[in-house]
Structure 1
Amino acid sequence: MANDNNNDGNLSFVEQLDPGQSFWNIKVRCIKKWRQSYRQDYVFIDEKGHQIQACVRNELIPNFEDLIKEDGVYVLRKFGVGVQGDLYPVVGLKKKINFYRCTSVTPVEAFSGDPYGFHFWKFDDINKGKAVEVKIVDVLGRLAWCGDLDIWTTKAKETKRLIFDLQDLEGVVLKCTFWGDFANEFHKYVSSNTQTNEMNDKFSTRIFFNEDLDEANKLRRSLIAKGDKEGTSTTLTQLSTQTNYPLRNDFLVVTPRKYVEDILETEKDKFCVVLATTTTLEPEYGWYYIACRTCQFKVYSKMEFLTKASEIPEGFEEAPGESMWCVQCKNMANSMMPKLKFQFKVQDKTGSVSFILFDKEVMKILGISAIDIRDRQLKSDDMDSFPHELDGLLNKLLAFKIKVSAYNIDNQKYVYTIKQFTDDPEIISELMENDDANDQDIPEPQVGEIDTDAASVTGGSLACEVVKDTAIGLGKRSNPDLNEDNKSFVSPGVSSEANQDKTSTNKRAKKKNMKYNA
C-alpha cells in the first residue's frame, strides 16, 4: 500500500509498487550490491520471491553505502519508484527503486522468503539461443574445465580473459568467459583452491563456490549418485571431498546426536540432532499465527499486549480497540501476515515426541507458505479446516536440529522447537550408519534372577524394562575407566559431551537388551 501521507507503518511487496505514487515502504533482502562511477546499485528480493533493482545517485552514496550489505535484510521507508530506463537492466522489471535523501534503512533479522530467488536455465536452452532476449540468467553447474589466463588486446585497451566450461547433470557443457579483474580473481581461486565461497564482479554477476545452497547441494548429490552408478570414480571422489558444507558440519560434526529418550531425560539446555520419522499432525494446536511483517514475531490485541509488554508505548491509549500490537517492535502493527506454526509427532526406535515447526523451514520441503494456504482457503471458501497441504510432511525420515531449552526442563514441557531440519540423503544415511555401528557394539547381557522391584511390565508384553539400578546378576564387571563419583564411563582424550553421548548409548543398550522369556 502506498504512503503519500508519509505514514511509514505499512509494508508493501514488489508487485504492489507503482511509479504513480510518492512514497513506499518495503521489507527486502539484498542479494547483490555493486558500484558504478556515478551511482550505487542493488538487487533486492521480497518475501514473495520477486526481485527489483534499486539505485542511489552519486551524491547520496555516502548515506547508504555502509548501511546495506549483501545478504542483509532491511526495511526501507520513504523511497520512490521510477520507470526502469537502464540500457542494460539487471532485473526484467519495468520499474525500479530510487533512494531519496529522506529514505531510511532499518536492519532486521527475520526473512521468510526464498533467500536468492534463483531461476536456473537449462544449458541446452542457452546453447540454442533461447536466452538471448533475456540477457541476464542464473546458471548452476560443475566446473568441468578451465583454461589459462589470457591477455586480450583491442585497439581501445588491454584486458585479461579466462575461458572455462560448466557442465550440468545431463552432461551438457556451457562455454563461459570472464573478463578483467573478475577473470584474474577466478583464476586465483581455481589455481589455489582456496576456501572462498563467492566472488563478485564490479557489475551484477555473483558467483558462489561450493556454497551451502539447497540448489547446489541437490546438484552435488545428484552428480555423486550419477558418478557412483556409472562408475566414474574420479568425479565421485572430487565431489565427495566438497561435501563438507555447513549443513553437513552442523548435523554430523558440531551438534550432538540424540535419541528421543535422550532429549526427554536431558537436564541441561542444549541443541541436538534427532533422526526420526514424522507420524502424526496435531491440529488441535492450530497451524498459523498472525505476525508483524517487520520482525516476524506474533502480534497481540490491546488487552494481550498489556500483559506482555514491559512498557506502554506512546499513543497506545488512543489507538483503536481492534488494533494489533507487536511486543518486539514495541509499537502498533500496521503490516501483518500469517505465518506457519504447527505441532506434530515424530518417532524413532526409542519413543515419540512432539516438535513445533515454523514457516521458513516448511518452505524448504513443501514449497508453500501460510499466505499460499490462506489464499487457497479464501478461494475455496474453506477457512476453518486444517490445511491438507501439510500432510506432505508425514511419513518422512528427517534429521531435526532442535533446541532443548531451560523452559522445557524447568516446566517439564516435552514439546521442542525445530531450529533446522533436512532430508539430505547423505546426512540421513550417515546418521543411520552411526546408529547401526552403535547397535553392533552392544554386548549381550548375562541375565540372572529378576528382582520384581527392578522391573516393570507393560500390558501383555514379554519384555520388561529396568527402571532403577539394582544388583540382579547383570554380570557387572569392574572397569578401570569407570568414574566412581558419577558412575559414568570416561574415555581418555574424549570431551565430556562425547562421554555423555556414550553414557546415553550405554543406558539405551542396557534397556534394549533387558528382555526375558515369560
Structure 2
Amino acid sequence: MQEPQQISVSKLIRGTTGVYVKVRVVRKWKKEDFRKAFVGEDFSLELILVDEEGHVIQATVGKALIQSFEDKIIEGYTYKIGRFQTFQNRGYDIATAHKCRLRFGSTTTIERIQALIPKSAFKFVSFQDIIDNNLDGRMLIDVIAEVDAYDMVSNIDNLERTYLWGQITLLAMGTICRRCKKNIIQIKYKKEKPIVVLQCVLRVPHEGEIKLSTTDNASKILINPNIPQVHEFRARNANKPPRTRGIVHIKTKDILAGNIKTIDELKNIEKAGTYVIVAYITKIDKTFKWYYNGCKVCTCRAGKKADGLWYCSQEECVAYEIGNHYRLTRFQAKFYIEDAYGGKAFIKMFDKLIKMKVNKSVMQCIEKLKEAGNDHGIPAEINEFQHKEYVFKVEVDNRFNLQLNSKCYNVIDFSDNENHIKHWKSEYKKIQDITSIIDMPAISAKTTAENLTAGGGSGTVPVKKKYADINIGEETTAASNAGNKDSASKKMKSIKIEKE
C-alpha cells in the first residue's frame, strides 16, 4: 500500500485522497442546528486550518463524529491530518475562499505535532469592499478597525452596537457582547481608541444599512491584539484627524462627500452609495401591502409552503427552514415623493424606520383596523407620513437602481425636523455655489458686451436660484418669469399637496 504524501492546502481539490496535511487550527467552533426538529442541538464542528505556506481551508466534523474529535482538537495547536474527504465549499458560514472543504470521517487520523506554522491566518477585507457589496454574502470575513463609539440597544437583549471608524456598525450579540464591553470601557478610560480584529463576522443588511454582525459561535473579537497588522494599522492612522458626529439620524460625512442631491440628480447617478435628498411625501402607494411576513433571523421575506412551514426566501440563510416560531410580521411602505425641483420618484421604508413614527407593532395596527371594520385599510399612523417634507438618506443599489434602472430607493434614515431640513437645504446651496464657480466658463469682453446689449443695457447677470432660497409652495407665474430666463438647467416647481 502506497504511503500517504504530504500536500499543500492550496493544491487540494474535490476528491483528493491518499494525502495528509500539516496544519494549525486557528479557529474552532460549533455550528448550531436550526432545523425545526433539532433546534438547540449542534449541527457540526467547524475548523479553520492554516498550513506552513499560509494557505487556509475550512474543515467540518459532522454531527455524528463531534464527540469523537472534539477533545482531540485544540485551537492554536498544530496537527497532522490524514484520511479525510474533500468536497465543494458551499452553504452558509463559509469561512475561507478555498474552493474545497475537508470533511472528517470515521477513519480520519489526527496527530498532534510540532511544526513552524503561522499562528494566525487573517484575511482582512476593506470597508470599501464591504460597503460596495463586492463580497459573497455567505462568507465569514475578517476586519480590522478602530472603535469610534459604542452603545447598548435596550430593546434587543444582549446586543451592542460598536461603531467602527464612523462608517460601519458592528452588531455584537450574546456572550461576545458581554466579554468585549468591559475591555472596551477599560481602554476608553485610558483615552485610547481600541483597535479591534473581528474574526469570522458577517456582512448583513440591517435597518436599511450595511452592517457587520457576529454569529452565535463562529465570531471572535480581539481587542488590541499584539499582531503586526494591528501595529501597522495604528501607525498608518496615527495622524488622522478625529472624526465628529453629525446631526441626529443623518451623518455630516454625507455633505463632506457632496452626497446631497435632488431627485433628478439621484436618478442620473452612476455610482452605488448613500445619498441625501429633501422631498415631500405626496402620497402612499396603496397597492403595496403595508406589512410582510419575514424571517426573524435575516429580515428577508418568508413564505408558507405546502407542508405548512414558513421558509425564508434566502436559501443561504441560517434559518432557511424557519418554522412558525421564527416568523415575524414587519412593517413596509412605499411612498411617492417629489422635491422642490419637480423631480419624482418612489421610496420604500421598512420596519425599524416606520416604528420610529408609529410606536406600535404590526399586530397592534391590524387589531385596530379590525375593530374599525377596515381589515384591508392602511393604519392612520402610516397615512400621517403623507403631505409632509422630510430629509431622507437613501441607498442607490448597484443591482436594482443602476443595473435594472429602478427609480425606487430604499430609505436608510429620515427626519421631519425643521432644523434638519433647513440644514440640508443650506448644505445643498453651498455645494451648488462651489459647483457653479468650478463650472463657470471664461467669458470674453466681446461676449459680455453683446449680452449687455441684448439684455437692454442692464449690467445685472441672472443668478441661479438655489434650493434654500425658495419657499416651498410658492407659485411661479408666467409674468414673474417673463424677460428673465433662468440660466440653470433645473427649475424650481411649486408642489401643491391636496389631501385625498
- The answer to whether TM tops 0.5 is no
Q: TM-score, normalised by structure 2?
A: 0.39
